[in-house]
Amino acid sequence: MAQETQYPDLVIVGAGLFGLTIAQQAVEKYGANVQIIDIRDHIGGNAYSYMDEETGAEIHKYGAHLFHTSNQRVWDYVNRFTEFTDYVHRVYATHNGEVYPLPTNLGTINQFFHAHYTPAEAKALIEEQAGELAGKDPQNLNDKGISLIGRPLYEAFIKNYTAKQWQTDPSELPASIITRLPVRFNYDNRYFKDTYEGLPVDGYTAWFERMIDDPRITVTLNTDFFDESQPFNKKALQEAGVPVVYTGPIDRYFDYDLGELKWRTVDFKEVRYDEGDHFGCPVMNFSDAEVPYTRAIEFKNFNPERKDQQNPDRTVVWEEYSRFATRDDEPYYPINTDDDKALYAQYAAKAAEEPKTVFGGRLGTYKYYDMHNVIDTALTAFEEQVAPLLEG
């Protein structure tokens, strides 16, 4: 006689930050038995990192991940599981063989124009260079960029970078992509303006492991939710009435029956150098069209406090290339055209009719989230959607 599967109180599909937060809360607040499954071979989702033995660098496998937040609830929560370094993110850009600080600030402006403008003079200059677009609200990215920082700076630092990032002429992209393009009329070149910022002292993976360090949480990797040969598959869980938190692609959940949502993805090319430090900073943007990649990440420079554990003679750099994603690629950035938004709304309506399934995370809600946003939405989803299922 076949043995009947013993199901847990909650199954979480995806071991990224959304799923890990839900699991931790379910155990802490309800003493639930939780099963996490993930199709990948590691926890942490796109924030997963590992140590590179040759250089001593912590590699962010899916691109640079920097933790920052002004949300006190999120900051208090994450500090339960990790301490943070005092890292402050700063970005530089190479344009025409010269390096400039970003985001655009008074230092960028004065260096670019070989000037010594005061804040008021720089403001007047930018407005003059925005021309007829100054103070307007253009609908395409090209004109929006010019209206925000003037034509010369936009064409130097934004236009070609964005064209490479989206493989599309900026005049054909929606202005919403750069609505928040900052320009600072002082010498503040911090990338983020949040209250709290830093990197986990022991690395991302150690942080994530602590979140689910409880015998009531089981993690099974290399497991596909849609593979009916494994016990925690969609069909079996629905038939058994087990609550599910699903953080995979929402269109995949419904077998793409309304069509596919579109994403951008990123490819990385690794380059190793016989030197201790190649760029002198963690992230270098390449603003010119002739350089095929958008930016390069030098991982050692995220953790200068680990200098004694790093190889002084070798460093590793990843060059980042952006392109449209296929169904087999890792989805990074939702494209969010009007058609995509309309399609997602249809999928969201179908999701609302799944009484025992909670959809979350970037893929489950077709939204681009920073890490602190993911955690915040997970804490809210637990209170409002998951807790009632566990109580029921």
Q: What CATH number should be reported for the domain holding residue 31?
A: 3.40.50.720
Q: Do 27 and 216 form a contact (C-beta atoms < 8 A)? A: yes
99 is a domain residue: no
Q: Per-residue pLDDT for 294 more than 80?
A: yes
Tell me, yes or no, whether 245 and 350 share the same domain: yes
143 is a domain residue: yes
Tell me, yes or no, whether 355 and 209 share the same domain: yes
Tell me, yes or no, whether 42 and 143 share the same domain: no
| Phi/psi of residue 203, nearest 5 degrees | 95, 160
Tell me, yes or no, whether 165 and 249 share the same domain: no
Q: State residue 138's pLDDT score.
A: 85
Tell me, yes or no, whether 16 and 128 share the same domain: no
Q: State residue 311's pLDDT score.
A: 98
127 is a domain residue: yes
Q: Per-residue pLDDT for 312 more than 90?
A: yes
Q: State residue 179's pLDDT score.
A: 67
Tell me, yes or no, whether 147 and 14 share the same domain: no
267 is a domain residue: no
Tell me, yes or no, whether 254 and 344 share the same domain: yes
Average pLDDT, the chain: 95
Instruction: Indicate the SS3 state at residue 304.
Output: helix
Most distant CA pair in the chain, distance = 84
Tell me, yes or no, whether 338 and 253 share the same domain: yes
Q: Which of 122, 144, 177 is the C-terminal boundary of a domain?
A: 177
Q: Per-residue pLDDT for 102 more than 50?
A: yes
d(CA 48, CA 41): 11
1 pLDDT tier (thresholds 50, 70, 90): very low
For the beta sheet containing 315-324, the strands, ordered from the edge strand earlier in sequence to the opposite edge, are: 98-102, 91-95, 283-286, 295-298, 315-324, 263-273, 333-334
Just list the catalytic residues.
180, 184, 264, 295, 320, 368, 370
Q: How many residues does the chain have?
A: 392
Total domains, the chain: 2
193 is a domain residue: no
Tell me, yes or no, whether 163 and 220 share the same domain: no
Q: State residue 86's pLDDT score.
A: 97
Q: For residue range 197-243, what is the model confidence (pLDDT) as tens digits?
A: 999 999 999 999 999 999 999 999 999 999 999 999 999 999 999 99
Residue 321: strand pairing partners = 267
317 is a domain residue: no
Complete DSSP assignment for 95-119? ETTEEEEESB-HHHHHHHTT----H
% of the chain beyond a pLDDT of 70: 98
CA gyration radius, the chain: 23
Tell me, yes or no, whether 173 and 205 share the same domain: no
Q: State residue 180's pLDDT score.
A: 61
365 is a domain residue: yes
Domain assignment of residue 144, given as a range = 112-177
284 is a domain residue: no
Q: For residue range 33-90, what is the model confidence (pLDDT) as tens digits?
A: 999 999 999 999 999 999 999 999 999 999 999 999 999 999 999 999 999 999 999 9
Q: State residue 2's pLDDT score.
A: 43
Tell me, yes or no, whether 237 and 386 share the same domain: yes
Q: How far apart are the first and last CA of the chain?
A: 31
Q: For residue range 112-136, what is the model confidence (pLDDT) as tens digits?
A: 999 999 999 999 999 999 988 887 8
Tell me, yes or no, whether 122 and 253 share the same domain: no
